[in-house]
C-alpha cells in the first residue's frame, strides 16, 4: 500500500482525518524535549532549588505542559479535540546538565495522542525558556521528538540514543 499524507484530500487540500469508522482503543504517547541552558543558568537554578523570581521553574513548566497538551487541537488546525484520560510531565537534569522533559499522554479513543504529548513537552520547554531568559538568552531548545506510542495501527518505540 502506498503511503500518503493523511491530512490532504484527493485534490491536495487540507482535510481532517475522518475517524468515524475506527474502533476506539487505548492509546499512549511519550514525547521528549531537551533544553540546554547556559552553565551559569543551570548552576544558579540548582543553587536556588530551581526557583527564580517568577516562581518554581520546573513546577510551572509541568503545569504549562499539561495545559498545552490539553489545548493541542486549538493550536494545530487538523488535530481532533481529545479528552485526555491522563497527562504527566516529568522534568530531570541529566548527566550532561541538560533539562530533559518527558510528556506522557493517554486516552481511550479512535485517534492517537502523539501530538498532545509532543505539544506538552514543547510547551514545558518554552516555559523553561521564558522563566530563565531574564538571566540569559543563551538557551537552546535542542530537540523535541516522539519517543514511543502504543495503540492504533502500529506501535513505535525510539531508543534514547536515536
Q: For the chain, how far is it from start to end, CA to CA, in angstroms?
A: 27
Residue 85 among the catalytic residues: no
Neighbours of 91 (CB within 10 A): 22
The helix (run of H) or strand (run of E) holding residue 7 is none
Which whole-number Å values give the CA distances from 137 to 38, 128, 131, 132, in the listed order?
8, 11, 11, 8
Query: Which residue from 57, 32, 34, 46 is spatially nearest to 132, judged by alpha carbons?
Result: 57
Q: Active site residue: 74, 130, 155, 160, which one?
A: 130
What DSSP string describes 23-51? PPEEEEEEEEEEEEE-HHHHHHHHHTTTE
Annotated catalytic sites, by residue? 130
Amino acid at each position: 500500500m502506498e503511503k500518503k499524507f493523511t491530512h490532504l484530500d484527493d485534490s491536495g487540500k487540507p482535510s481532517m482525518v475522518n475517524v468515524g469508522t475506527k474502533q476506539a482503543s487505548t492509546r499512549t504517547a511519550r514525547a521528549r524535549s531537551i533544553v540546554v541552558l547556559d552553565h551559569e543558568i543551570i548552576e544558579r537554578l540548582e543553587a536556588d532549588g530551581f526557583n527564580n523570581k517568577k516562581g518554581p521553574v520546573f513546577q510551572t513548566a509541568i503545569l504549562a505542559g499539561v495545559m498545552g497538551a490539553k489545548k493541542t487541537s486549538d493550536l494545530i488546525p487538523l488535530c481532533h479535540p481529545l479528552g485526555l484520560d491522563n497527562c504527566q510531565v516529568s522534568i530531570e537534569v541529566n548527566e550532561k546538565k541538560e533539562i530533559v522533559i518527558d510528556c506522557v499522554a493517554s486516552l481511550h479513543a479512535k485517534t492517537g495522542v502523539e501530538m498532545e504529548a509532543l505539544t506538552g513537552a514543547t510547551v514545558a520547554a518554552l516555559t523553561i525558556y521564558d522563566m530563565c531568559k531574564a538571566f540569559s538568552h543563551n538557551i537552546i531548545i535542542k530537540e523535541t521528538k516522539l519517543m514511543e506510542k502504543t495503540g492504533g495501527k502500529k506501535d513505535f518505540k525510539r531508543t534514547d540514543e536515536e
